[in-house]
Chain A
Amino acid sequence: MATQGDSLRESAVFNLSGAITMVVDDSPFSLTLTAGALAGFGIRPAFTVGRGAEARRILQEKPVDLLLVDTDMPDIDGFELVRWLRRSGPNPNAFTPVIMTASHIRRGRVTEARDCGANFVVTKPFSAAMLLERILWVARDSRPFLEVGDYLGPDRRFRHDDYDGEERRADMIRKKTMEFA
Protein backbone atom coordinates (compact mmCIF):
# COMPACT_ATOMS: atom_id res chain seq x y z
CA MET A 1 0.00 0.00 0.00
CA ALA A 2 1.27 3.40 -0.80
CA THR A 3 2.04 5.50 2.18
CA GLN A 4 1.58 9.22 2.06
CA GLY A 5 2.78 10.27 -1.35
CA ASP A 6 5.99 12.22 -1.49
CA SER A 7 4.20 14.83 -3.53
CA LEU A 8 1.74 15.61 -0.72
CA ARG A 9 3.20 18.25 1.53
CA GLU A 10 1.61 18.18 5.00
CA SER A 11 1.31 21.94 5.31
CA ALA A 12 -0.22 22.46 1.87
CA VAL A 13 -3.79 23.72 2.14
CA PHE A 14 -6.70 22.88 -0.11
CA ASN A 15 -10.38 23.69 0.02
CA LEU A 16 -12.91 21.24 -1.34
CA SER A 17 -15.55 21.80 1.31
CA GLY A 18 -17.96 23.07 -1.33
CA ALA A 19 -17.43 20.20 -3.76
CA ILE A 20 -20.65 18.42 -4.64
CA THR A 21 -19.38 14.87 -4.55
CA MET A 22 -21.02 11.61 -5.53
CA VAL A 23 -19.75 8.19 -4.44
CA VAL A 24 -21.16 5.16 -6.25
CA ASP A 25 -20.47 1.67 -4.90
CA ASP A 26 -22.71 -1.36 -4.53
CA SER A 27 -20.95 -2.33 -1.29
CA PRO A 28 -22.48 -0.37 1.62
CA PHE A 29 -19.29 -0.80 3.67
CA SER A 30 -17.09 0.52 0.85
CA LEU A 31 -19.40 3.53 0.62
CA THR A 32 -18.94 4.09 4.35
CA LEU A 33 -15.14 3.78 4.07
CA THR A 34 -14.92 6.22 1.16
CA ALA A 35 -17.32 8.68 2.80
CA GLY A 36 -15.25 8.46 6.01
CA ALA A 37 -12.03 9.30 4.19
CA LEU A 38 -13.70 12.13 2.27
CA ALA A 39 -15.17 13.59 5.46
CA GLY A 40 -11.63 13.73 6.81
CA PHE A 41 -10.64 15.77 3.77
CA GLY A 42 -13.47 18.20 4.47
CA ILE A 43 -15.65 16.80 1.68
CA ARG A 44 -19.17 15.78 2.65
CA PRO A 45 -20.48 13.58 -0.14
CA ALA A 46 -23.80 14.96 -1.32
CA PHE A 47 -24.76 11.62 -2.86
CA THR A 48 -23.79 8.12 -1.75
CA VAL A 49 -25.40 5.73 -4.18
CA GLY A 50 -25.45 1.94 -4.38
CA ARG A 51 -26.73 1.49 -7.93
CA GLY A 52 -25.45 2.73 -11.26
CA ALA A 53 -28.97 3.42 -12.50
CA GLU A 54 -29.72 5.72 -9.58
CA ALA A 55 -26.40 7.50 -10.08
CA ARG A 56 -27.29 8.08 -13.73
CA ARG A 57 -30.65 9.56 -12.79
CA ILE A 58 -29.05 12.00 -10.34
CA LEU A 59 -26.28 12.92 -12.78
CA GLN A 60 -28.95 13.91 -15.30
CA GLU A 61 -30.63 16.23 -12.82
CA LYS A 62 -28.08 17.64 -10.38
CA PRO A 63 -24.65 19.21 -10.80
CA VAL A 64 -21.80 17.06 -9.48
CA ASP A 65 -18.22 18.35 -9.10
CA LEU A 66 -16.45 15.06 -8.35
CA LEU A 67 -17.49 11.48 -8.98
CA LEU A 68 -15.94 8.45 -7.31
CA VAL A 69 -17.28 5.24 -8.77
CA ASP A 70 -16.62 1.55 -8.23
CA THR A 71 -15.93 -0.47 -11.35
CA ASP A 72 -17.74 -3.69 -10.47
CA MET A 73 -21.46 -3.24 -9.85
CA PRO A 74 -24.64 -5.04 -10.84
CA ASP A 75 -26.99 -3.41 -13.36
CA ILE A 76 -24.93 -0.50 -14.71
CA ASP A 77 -21.28 -0.98 -13.79
CA GLY A 78 -18.74 1.80 -13.32
CA PHE A 79 -17.33 1.58 -16.84
CA GLU A 80 -20.75 1.84 -18.43
CA LEU A 81 -21.75 4.71 -16.15
CA VAL A 82 -18.66 6.77 -17.00
CA ARG A 83 -18.93 5.99 -20.71
CA TRP A 84 -22.54 7.18 -20.63
CA LEU A 85 -21.59 10.28 -18.61
CA ARG A 86 -18.91 11.37 -21.07
CA ARG A 87 -21.38 11.15 -23.92
CA SER A 88 -24.25 12.77 -22.01
CA GLY A 89 -23.55 16.28 -23.27
CA PRO A 90 -24.93 18.95 -23.15
CA ASN A 91 -25.23 17.67 -19.57
CA PRO A 92 -22.68 19.86 -17.71
CA ASN A 93 -21.60 16.79 -15.72
CA ALA A 94 -20.18 15.25 -18.91
CA PHE A 95 -16.77 16.76 -18.06
CA THR A 96 -16.92 16.10 -14.31
CA PRO A 97 -13.66 14.70 -12.90
CA VAL A 98 -14.07 10.96 -12.31
CA ILE A 99 -11.97 8.66 -10.16
CA MET A 100 -12.75 4.97 -10.57
CA THR A 101 -11.90 2.57 -7.79
CA ALA A 102 -11.46 -1.15 -8.28
CA SER A 103 -10.71 -4.02 -5.93
CA HIS A 104 -9.75 -6.13 -8.95
CA ILE A 105 -10.17 -5.67 -12.67
CA ARG A 106 -10.97 -8.79 -14.66
CA ARG A 107 -8.52 -9.46 -17.48
CA GLY A 108 -11.22 -9.07 -20.08
CA ARG A 109 -12.09 -5.60 -18.81
CA VAL A 110 -8.69 -3.92 -18.69
CA THR A 111 -9.31 -2.25 -22.04
CA GLU A 112 -12.67 -0.94 -20.82
CA ALA A 113 -10.93 0.53 -17.80
CA ARG A 114 -8.53 2.37 -20.08
CA ASP A 115 -11.17 3.49 -22.54
CA CYS A 116 -14.20 4.43 -20.44
CA GLY A 117 -13.16 8.07 -20.05
CA ALA A 118 -12.35 8.27 -16.34
CA ASN A 119 -9.64 10.69 -15.25
CA PHE A 120 -8.05 8.03 -13.09
CA VAL A 121 -8.53 4.38 -12.24
CA VAL A 122 -7.20 3.43 -8.82
CA THR A 123 -6.84 -0.20 -7.84
CA LYS A 124 -7.04 -1.23 -4.20
CA PRO A 125 -5.39 -1.34 -1.78
CA PHE A 126 -5.00 2.40 -1.51
CA SER A 127 -4.47 4.59 1.51
CA ALA A 128 -6.34 7.75 2.42
CA ALA A 129 -3.20 9.66 1.39
CA MET A 130 -3.27 8.14 -2.07
CA LEU A 131 -6.96 8.93 -2.44
CA LEU A 132 -6.35 12.55 -1.45
CA GLU A 133 -3.42 12.77 -3.83
CA ARG A 134 -5.59 11.53 -6.70
CA ILE A 135 -8.43 13.92 -5.83
CA LEU A 136 -6.05 16.88 -5.82
CA TRP A 137 -4.53 15.61 -9.03
CA VAL A 138 -7.86 15.44 -10.86
CA ALA A 139 -8.82 18.85 -9.43
CA ARG A 140 -5.77 20.25 -11.22
CA ASP A 141 -6.01 18.01 -14.25
CA SER A 142 -5.93 20.38 -17.21
CA ARG A 143 -5.84 17.78 -19.97
CA PRO A 144 -8.26 18.52 -22.79
CA PHE A 145 -11.04 16.07 -23.60
CA LEU A 146 -10.53 14.14 -26.79
CA GLU A 147 -12.96 12.27 -28.96
CA VAL A 148 -11.11 9.57 -30.88
CA GLY A 149 -13.14 6.75 -32.39
CA ASP A 150 -15.19 5.30 -29.52
CA TYR A 151 -13.18 7.11 -26.87
CA LEU A 152 -14.37 10.32 -25.26
CA GLY A 153 -12.51 11.50 -22.19
CA PRO A 154 -9.35 13.19 -20.95
CA ASP A 155 -6.33 12.97 -23.21
CA ARG A 156 -4.70 9.67 -22.19
CA ARG A 157 -1.22 10.78 -23.19
CA PHE A 158 0.91 11.90 -20.29
CA ARG A 159 4.10 13.83 -20.91
CA HIS A 160 6.60 13.82 -18.11
CA ASP A 161 9.53 15.33 -20.01
CA ASP A 162 11.05 18.26 -18.20
CA TYR A 163 11.23 21.47 -20.14
CA ASP A 164 14.75 22.85 -20.27
CA GLY A 165 13.90 26.50 -20.71
CA GLU A 166 12.33 29.00 -18.35
CA GLU A 167 9.02 27.62 -17.04
CA ARG A 168 6.27 30.12 -17.86
CA ARG A 169 3.22 27.86 -17.78
CA ALA A 170 1.06 28.96 -14.82
CA ASP A 171 -0.20 25.49 -14.00
CA MET A 172 3.30 24.03 -14.01
CA ILE A 173 4.62 26.82 -11.79
CA ARG A 174 1.73 26.30 -9.39
CA LYS A 175 2.28 22.55 -9.32
CA LYS A 176 5.94 23.02 -8.46
CA THR A 177 5.10 25.60 -5.81
CA MET A 178 2.41 23.49 -4.21
CA GLU A 179 4.43 20.27 -4.55
CA PHE A 180 1.35 18.37 -5.65
CA ALA A 181 0.92 16.06 -8.58
Chain B
Amino acid sequence: MTVITHVQRKSRLAEMVDRPGGVSVGVALAQAKANLDGLKDQALAIISENIGALLAHPTPDIPEALRLDSAYAASSQVIDAASPFALDDLCTAAKGLCDLLDAAPRQGGFDWRIATVHAQAMKLLLSLTPDAPGTAEARIAIMANLSEVLKRKLPMSPQSPA
Protein backbone atom coordinates (compact mmCIF):
# COMPACT_ATOMS: atom_id res chain seq x y z
CA MET B 1 0.00 0.00 0.00
CA THR B 2 1.26 3.46 -0.86
CA VAL B 3 2.28 5.59 2.10
CA ILE B 4 2.59 9.34 1.65
CA THR B 5 4.47 11.14 4.38
CA HIS B 6 3.52 14.77 4.97
CA VAL B 7 6.40 16.57 6.61
CA GLN B 8 4.69 19.41 8.40
CA ARG B 9 6.46 22.28 10.03
CA LYS B 10 6.35 22.62 13.79
CA SER B 11 2.85 23.48 15.02
CA ARG B 12 2.20 26.85 16.63
CA LEU B 13 1.38 24.97 19.80
CA ALA B 14 4.85 23.41 19.77
CA GLU B 15 6.44 26.80 19.16
CA MET B 16 4.68 28.53 22.04
CA VAL B 17 4.79 25.86 24.76
CA ASP B 18 8.36 26.65 25.83
CA ARG B 19 8.13 30.42 25.46
CA PRO B 20 9.07 32.55 28.48
CA GLY B 21 6.28 33.19 30.97
CA GLY B 22 3.40 30.85 31.44
CA VAL B 23 2.51 28.84 34.48
CA SER B 24 3.91 25.88 36.40
CA VAL B 25 2.18 22.52 36.27
CA GLY B 26 1.47 22.69 40.01
CA VAL B 27 -0.19 26.10 39.78
CA ALA B 28 -2.10 25.13 36.62
CA LEU B 29 -3.55 22.05 38.28
CA ALA B 30 -4.46 23.95 41.44
CA GLN B 31 -6.24 26.60 39.36
CA ALA B 32 -8.04 23.96 37.30
CA LYS B 33 -9.13 22.17 40.48
CA ALA B 34 -10.49 25.42 41.95
CA ASN B 35 -12.41 26.11 38.74
CA LEU B 36 -13.84 22.59 38.61
CA ASP B 37 -14.70 22.50 42.33
CA GLY B 38 -16.98 25.45 41.70
CA LEU B 39 -18.95 23.30 39.24
CA LYS B 40 -19.31 20.21 41.42
CA ASP B 41 -22.80 20.97 42.75
CA GLN B 42 -24.05 21.50 39.23
CA ALA B 43 -22.43 18.23 38.17
CA LEU B 44 -24.11 16.32 41.00
CA ALA B 45 -27.47 17.80 40.04
CA ILE B 46 -26.98 16.70 36.41
CA ILE B 47 -25.97 13.21 37.54
CA SER B 48 -29.08 12.92 39.73
CA GLU B 49 -31.29 14.19 36.94
CA ASN B 50 -29.97 11.57 34.52
CA ILE B 51 -30.22 8.75 37.04
CA GLY B 52 -33.82 9.90 37.55
CA ALA B 53 -34.38 9.68 33.80
CA LEU B 54 -33.05 6.12 33.78
CA LEU B 55 -35.39 5.15 36.62
CA ALA B 56 -38.46 6.85 35.17
CA HIS B 57 -41.18 4.81 33.54
CA PRO B 58 -40.90 5.04 29.77
CA THR B 59 -43.47 6.77 27.61
CA PRO B 60 -45.92 4.12 26.40
CA ASP B 61 -45.33 2.89 22.85
CA ILE B 62 -41.90 4.48 22.58
CA PRO B 63 -39.91 2.63 19.89
CA GLU B 64 -37.22 0.38 21.38
CA ALA B 65 -34.39 2.01 19.41
CA LEU B 66 -35.38 5.46 20.69
CA ARG B 67 -35.63 4.16 24.25
CA LEU B 68 -32.17 2.60 23.96
CA ASP B 69 -30.71 5.83 22.59
CA SER B 70 -32.31 7.93 25.34
CA ALA B 71 -30.98 5.64 28.07
CA TYR B 72 -27.55 5.59 26.40
CA ALA B 73 -27.53 9.40 26.31
CA ALA B 74 -28.53 9.63 29.99
CA SER B 75 -25.83 7.17 31.00
CA SER B 76 -23.23 9.03 28.89
CA GLN B 77 -24.20 12.30 30.55
CA VAL B 78 -23.59 10.71 33.95
CA ILE B 79 -20.03 9.89 32.80
CA ASP B 80 -19.55 13.42 31.38
CA ALA B 81 -20.63 15.13 34.59
CA ALA B 82 -18.86 12.72 36.97
CA SER B 83 -15.60 12.56 35.01
CA PRO B 84 -13.54 15.36 36.62
CA PHE B 85 -14.65 14.67 40.20
CA ALA B 86 -13.02 11.30 40.94
CA LEU B 87 -16.41 9.57 40.98
CA ASP B 88 -14.81 6.54 39.39
CA ASP B 89 -17.27 3.89 40.58
CA LEU B 90 -20.15 5.93 39.24
CA CYS B 91 -18.39 6.27 35.89
CA THR B 92 -17.68 2.54 35.77
CA ALA B 93 -21.33 1.74 36.49
CA ALA B 94 -22.51 4.17 33.80
CA LYS B 95 -19.93 2.85 31.35
CA GLY B 96 -21.13 -0.71 31.96
CA LEU B 97 -24.70 0.36 31.24
CA CYS B 98 -23.56 2.10 28.03
CA ASP B 99 -21.86 -1.14 26.96
CA LEU B 100 -25.04 -3.13 27.60
CA LEU B 101 -27.30 -0.64 25.82
CA ASP B 102 -24.91 -0.45 22.89
CA ALA B 103 -24.96 -4.23 22.54
CA ALA B 104 -28.77 -4.50 22.89
CA PRO B 105 -30.83 -5.54 19.85
CA ARG B 106 -32.41 -2.43 18.30
CA GLN B 107 -35.61 -4.24 17.40
CA GLY B 108 -36.40 -5.16 21.01
CA GLY B 109 -35.72 -7.79 23.61
CA PHE B 110 -33.46 -5.85 25.97
CA ASP B 111 -34.08 -6.73 29.58
CA TRP B 112 -34.80 -3.27 30.97
CA ARG B 113 -34.46 -4.50 34.54
CA ILE B 114 -30.70 -4.33 33.89
CA ALA B 115 -30.92 -0.58 33.29
CA THR B 116 -32.97 -0.16 36.46
CA VAL B 117 -30.43 -2.15 38.49
CA HIS B 118 -27.60 0.00 37.16
CA ALA B 119 -29.48 3.24 37.82
CA GLN B 120 -30.33 2.14 41.36
CA ALA B 121 -26.69 1.20 41.93
CA MET B 122 -25.59 4.63 40.65
CA LYS B 123 -28.08 6.32 42.96
CA LEU B 124 -26.74 4.32 45.90
CA LEU B 125 -23.10 5.05 44.99
CA LEU B 126 -23.91 8.74 44.84
CA SER B 127 -25.56 8.66 48.26
CA LEU B 128 -22.71 6.91 50.08
CA THR B 129 -20.78 9.21 52.39
CA PRO B 130 -17.08 8.81 51.51
CA ASP B 131 -15.65 8.45 55.02
CA ALA B 132 -18.57 6.74 56.76
CA PRO B 133 -17.93 3.27 58.20
CA GLY B 134 -18.83 0.50 55.80
CA THR B 135 -18.80 2.75 52.72
CA ALA B 136 -15.78 1.11 51.13
CA GLU B 137 -17.25 -2.37 51.62
CA ALA B 138 -20.59 -1.24 50.23
CA ARG B 139 -18.90 0.22 47.14
CA ILE B 140 -16.94 -2.97 46.58
CA ALA B 141 -20.11 -5.07 46.89
CA ILE B 142 -22.09 -2.86 44.48
CA MET B 143 -19.33 -2.85 41.91
CA ALA B 144 -18.86 -6.61 42.19
CA ASN B 145 -22.57 -7.15 41.56
CA LEU B 146 -22.58 -4.85 38.54
CA SER B 147 -19.50 -6.55 37.18
CA GLU B 148 -21.28 -9.89 37.51
CA VAL B 149 -24.32 -8.53 35.63
CA LEU B 150 -22.03 -7.26 32.88
CA LYS B 151 -20.23 -10.58 32.65
CA ARG B 152 -23.49 -12.50 32.33
CA LYS B 153 -25.28 -10.16 29.98
CA LEU B 154 -22.39 -9.06 27.82
CA PRO B 155 -20.47 -12.24 27.06
CA MET B 156 -17.52 -12.32 24.67
CA SER B 157 -16.99 -8.61 24.97
CA PRO B 158 -14.61 -6.88 27.33
CA GLN B 159 -15.73 -3.65 28.96
CA SER B 160 -14.82 -0.58 26.99
CA PRO B 161 -11.46 0.97 27.84
CA ALA B 162 -11.43 3.27 30.84
Contact = CB atoms under 8 A, between A and B. Distances in A.
Interface of A: 1, 4, 8-20, 27, 29-30, 32-33, 36-42, 63, 65-66, 72, 95-97, 103-108, 123-129, 132, 136, 138-142, 144-149
B107 interface: no
B87 A136 contact: no
Contact of B24 (A11, A104, A127): A11
Contacts, number: 194
Query: SS class of chain B's interface: helix, strand, loop or mixed?
Result: helix
Contact of B17 (A8, A16, A126): A16
B22 A144 contact: no
B84 A138 contact: no
Contacts of A11: 24-26
Q: Which 7 A-B pairs have the closest CB atoms?
A: A40-B32, A15-B22, A10-B26, A40-B31, A36-B35, A103-B79, A128-B32
Given A10-B25, A27-B80, A123 B161 contact: yes
A78 to B, nearest CB: 13
B93 to A, nearest CB: 12
Nearest to A43: B28
Nearest to A145: B6
Interface in B77-122: 77, 79-84, 86-88, 91, 94-95, 98-99, 102-103
A146 B3 contact: yes
Given A96-B11, A139-B11, A148-B3, A12 B36 contact: no
Contacts of B86: 1, 125, 127
